[in-house]
Chains A and B, each alone.
Chain A
Amino acid sequence: MRPIHHLFGIADLDHEQIEYLVNLGHSFIDINRRSLKKAPTLRGKTVINLFFENSTRTRTSFELAGKRLSADVINISASTSATKKGESLIDTGMTLAAMQPHVLVIRHSVSGTCQLLADYLGDTSIVNAGDGAHEHPTQILTDLLTLKQTWNSMEGKVITLVGDITHSRVARSHLLAAKIMGYKLRVVAPKTLLPAEIERYGCEVYNDFDAALPGSDAVYMLRMQTERMTDNCSIPSIREYHEAYGLNRKRLNRAGSDTLVLHPGPMNRGVEIASDVADSVNSHILSQVEHGVAVRMAVLAALCGGDDHDE
């Protein structure tokens, strides 16, 4: 397998690498469930979580992943970072890299931030924890690990992705992963929330949620990212959006009784997803959160794994 030095996005991974990370993640699930949640894998390694956007689950997930593998983990959030004092993103990155961490986990609202920083940060491995509307690779690995618990293979499965596709890095990463791993994606949204030429990913595009549901093996609801919308015209109201694109029990029944429900979080109950679905047996939303820790352990282990000779 090609070694993984950075994880910028699914675009940089091949089938073998994705399988490897998901399987490695699978092997870490048990550690998280034990009473003694610690393995020595990353002893002596330093991981810095540099988050320029608010995040609860992803940051916590990366932090726990590092700590449970015995790495030293530092968290920096935008509110405390030097960028508030006028320092440029690149200088912040170079400053932190000068402290010799092994891994820098970065979340930023600007697409391409990881690629930009990589040119300046020397040997430090970079993990993309979400860049703008571009990619969010660890979320997709998380989803694949979650689905692996129910499905033997992704081959031929149909996942219906619903909501604000335009602003979704999760959607883009899934669209790339679908091609590599052989599953089918349907994307569902009003045209105001679909980016140009989305069909060129090879997905099926629907404006009518109900028409997309039959035959869906999983329904993946995306959060309405109102904070990224530059106008107030993308949807007329939450009420109408929920009516047209919200997932409730009645809708889910159109897909099938064993259709899985996923959501990358945070959920807006009553907007994209109704509680009767979010809390149902079909919902694997909390499993996604649990597997997120395991997958991020796998990613950190894979990135740090190559240079163990000095210990």
Chain B
Amino acid sequence: MSVSLLIIGGRVIDPANAIDEVCDLWIEDGRIAGVGSFDGIADATIDATGQIVCPGLIDMHVHLREPGQEWKEDIESGSRAAVAGGVTTMCCMPNTGPHIDHAGIARQIIERSNQVGLCNVLPIGAVTKNLDGKELTEMRELSRAGCVAFSDDGMPIWHAGVMRKALEYSSSFDFMIIQHAEEKQLTAGGCINEGWISTQLGVTGMPVEGEDSMIARDIMLARRTRARYHVAHISSQGGVELVRAARAEGLNVTTEAAPHHFALTEEEVLGFNVDAKMSPPLRTEADRLAIIEGLRDGTIEVIATDHAPHHEDDKRCGLSCAAFGITGLETMLAVSLDLVRDDILSMSDLIAKMTSNPASLLRLETGTLNIGAAADITIFDAEAKWTVDRETMVSKGKSTPWHGKEMTGQVKQTLKNGRVVFVEGTIHG
């Protein structure tokens, strides 16, 4: 047998096919050709001894800022950051300018990402036109143009009547609604979690009830409408408990957690740290532990970054004025590996939350090492140490709470359609 690329010696983990063993993986014509013991000739060989070989990671929640705010990030820089972080498929949120609320923008984003050719970019369509929470978008049209789910992310769908209609309409066509759950009337003017830290810093807080109350409302509406409802970047203990109960009831309710919400708490903000300001905010240790428990027991199926790059100027101001959001693509894997080291998840379960689980939620054909599937592959060393340095980050967004921190777990190579697009710090565009 002769193949184009052979990866040998790695620990191959493919959660969708329950594979976790040291073996070979071979690729032909940009597709997975086999997993097991290879006997034949390969044009090229990658030695992955001591490393983990898994499906390319999927990040179902990123902001790429293009079109409209290309000084913060664009599809190319975001794609480069993605493959540097081992991500080969990402879903971009519609709060661009113009918004992804009509098919033309969705097609433009996909076309541009194909030109860049590093990472699949799958748009999330807006639920309402202009993200203003009033009129529904043409979801069927957006879906045909390539949108894989719908969200007004950044803006919650606050109007209960509109949300009900959105859930009814989307579920008529089996689309999923992703909600940024935040009751803005409760969080108005807030910049961090409301509590002891916001009190000490003398800044307005965002009470956790702002998130919990909207999740509770939405779950009631999801129960009535039997819709597919997904809570974006869940950050609170109350939210996790609500989702757990909804799932136990058999509702089609899912959620994702961002690495910063299970790795950090609001303490990170002390000293007015703008690199720890995001929405939803970092919360308490009890919330953090609840998210970890949600990840452990499966309430939270997906890890997604909420990669929200900003220009330095948007963060070079006081905590209450600074933009919400941090860059996340390049630190997702290393931060998440703590869940394995801390015995919360098996390596396979962790990888599932960044591959097969989001793929099945979004009905994608990626996220597995199925024979014949596109050879999107991430090879990482779970033990390798590196230090986060904002100056060398690939993303245009340099704001990260992990600047200067040592990470364990490093992406060594990223393959897209069988082509090496990232190897040891270098991107092959």
Q: Which residues of A contact B (CB under 8 A)?
A: 88-90, 108, 110-113, 115-116, 131-135, 169, 172, 195-198, 200, 230-231
B317 at the interface (CB under 8 A from A): yes
Are B201 and A111 closer than 8 Å at their CB atoms?
Answer: yes
| Beta-carbon nearest neighbor of B194 in chain A | A196
B317 partner residues in chain A, CB cutoff 8 A: 88-90, 110, 116
Is A196 touching B195 in the complex (CB atoms < 8 A)?
Answer: yes
- A197 with B318: CB separation less than 8 A: no
Chain A residues contacting B320 (CB-CB under 8 Å) are 110-112, 132
5 A-B pairs with CB atoms under 8 Å apart are A132-B320, A133-B203, A196-B198, A196-B205, A230-B204
Select B201's contact among A89, A134, A231, beta carbons within 8 Å.
A134
Q: Report chain B residues within 8 Å CB of A196.
A: 194-196, 198-199, 205, 207
The reply on B272 being an interface residue by CB < 8 A is yes
Query: Which chain A residues lie closer than 8 Å to B188 at the CB level?
Result: 230-231
**Known contacts A110-B321, A113-B318, then 7 further A-B pairs from the complex at CB < 8 Å, ordered by chain A residue:** A110-B319, A111-B201, A111-B272, A112-B318, A112-B319, A196-B194, A230-B204
Q: Distance in Å from the Cβ of B37 to the closest Cβ of chain A? A: 57
Is the contact region of chain B dominated by helix, strand, or loop, or is it mixed? loop
Q: Contact between B205 and A172 (Cβ–Cβ < 8 Å)?
A: no
Within 190-246 of B, Cβ neighbours of A (below 8 Å) are at 194-196, 198-205, 207
Quick one: closest B residue to A230, CB to CB?
B189
Please name the residue on chain B nearest to A169 by beta carbon: B202
Q: With A197-B195, A197-B196 as given contacts, are A88 and B316 in contact (CB-CB < 8 Å)?
A: yes
The CA-CA distance from A111 to B321 in the complex, in Å, is 10
CB neighbours of A89 from chain B (8 A): 317-318
Chain A contacts for B272, CB-based, 8 A: 111-112, 115-116
A176 and chain B: residue at smallest CB distance:
B200
Q: Which B residues fall within an 8 A CB radius of A? A: 188-189, 194-196, 198-205, 207, 271-272, 313, 316-321
Given contacts A111-B320, A115-B272, contact A200 B196 (CB under 8 A): yes
CB pair A172 B200 closer than 8 Å: yes
CA distance A131 to B203 in the complex (A): 10
Q: Once bound together, how far apart are the Cα atoms of A88 and B312, in whole Å?
A: 13
User: For B202, what are the chain A residues with a Cβ–Cβ distance below 8 Å?
Assistant: 111, 131-135, 169, 172
Q: Across chains A and B, which 9 residue pairs bring their CB atoms closest together, nearest first?
A: A134-B202, A112-B272, A133-B202, A110-B318, A195-B199, A111-B202, A197-B196, A230-B189, A111-B203
Residues of chain A with a CB closer than 8 A to B203's CB: 111-112, 132-134
Q: Give the tally of cross-chain contacts (CB within 8 A).
A: 67
Which residues in B have their C-beta under 8 angstroms from that of A231?
A: 188
* Most chain A CB within a 10 A radius of its CB, from B200, B271, B272: B200
Distance (whole angstroms) from the CB of B202 to the closest CB of chain A: 3
* Residues of A with C-beta under 8 A to B271: 115
Given the complex of chains A and B, what is the CA–CA distance between A131 and B200 in angstroms?
13
Residues of A within 8 A of B319 (CB): 110-112
Q: How far is the CA of A107 from the CA of B316 in the complex (A)?
A: 18
Alpha-carbon distance A87/B10, docked complex (angstroms): 55
Closest to A116 in B: B318
| Bound-state Cα–Cα, A200 to B284, Å | 15
| A198, B207: Cα distance in complex, Å | 15
Q: What's the minimum C-beta distance from A161 to chain B, rounded to whole angstroms? A: 14
Give B189's nearest chain A residue, CB to CB: A230
Q: How far is the CA of A133 from the CA of B313 in the complex (A)?
A: 24
Chain A residues with Cβ below 8 Å from B318 are: 89, 108, 110-113, 116, 132
**Bound-complex Cα distance A234 to B320 (A):** 21
Q: Provide the residues of chain B in CB contact with A116, threshold 8 Å.
A: 272, 317-318
CB distance from B275 to the nearest CB of A (A): 13
Give the docked Cα–Cα distance between A152 and B320 (Å). 40
Give Cα A110 to B205, complex, Å: 14
In the assembly, what is the distance between CA of A157 and CA of B195, in Å?
28
Distance between A258 CB and nearest chain B CB, rounded to angstroms: 33
The answer to whether residues A198 and B199 also contact, given A88-B316, A112-B272, A230-B189 and a CB cut-off of 8 A, is yes
Which A residues touch B321, using CB under 8 A?
A: 110
Query: Which residues does chain B contribute within 8 Å of A132, judged by CB atoms?
Result: 202-203, 318, 320
- Give complex CA distance A110, B201 in Å: 10
In the assembly, what is the distance between CA of A197 and CA of B194, in Å? 9
Residue of B nearest to A171 (CB): B202
Report Cα–Cα, A221/B199, bound state, in Å.
20
CA distance A108 to B320 in the complex (A): 12
Nearest chain A residue, comparing its CB with the CB of B188: A230
Residue of B204, B316, B318 ringed by the most chain A CB atoms within 10 A? B318
Residue of A nearest to B203 (CB): A111
